[in-house]
């Protein structure tokens, strides 16, 4: 499925599509020359353990 219209107002940061667990960011200039379905995305890096439930206790000493 290729895009017919290229949004000129939207930046590549704002054009985010979510497909189950994968997120793809499409840049408007790239959509002119390539077919979007052939772009492969990688998994995003997330910090799961950044907020701990015991950060106020003295267990870290």
pLDDT in tens, 3-52: 555 555 555 554 444 444 445 555 555 555 555 565 566 555 566 555 55
pLDDT at 58: 58
Identify the pLDDT of residue 14.
47
Nearest residue to 23 (alpha-carbon basis) of 39, 41, 9, 5? 41
**By C-alpha distance, which of 9, 52, 54 is closest to 28?**
9
Enter the tokens of residue 37: 């379905």
pLDDT of residue 1: 46
Give residue 18's pLDDT: 46
Backbone φ and ψ of 18, nearest 5°: -115, 120
pLDDT at 33: 54
């Amino acid at each position: 499925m290729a895009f017919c219209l290229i949004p000129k107002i939207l930046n590549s940061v704002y054009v985010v599509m979510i497909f189950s667990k994968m997120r793809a960011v499409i840049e408007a200039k790239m959509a002119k020359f390539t077919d979007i379905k052939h772009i492969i995305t990688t998994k995003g890096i997330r910090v799961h353990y950044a907020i701990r439930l015991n950060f106020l206790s003295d267990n870290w000493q």
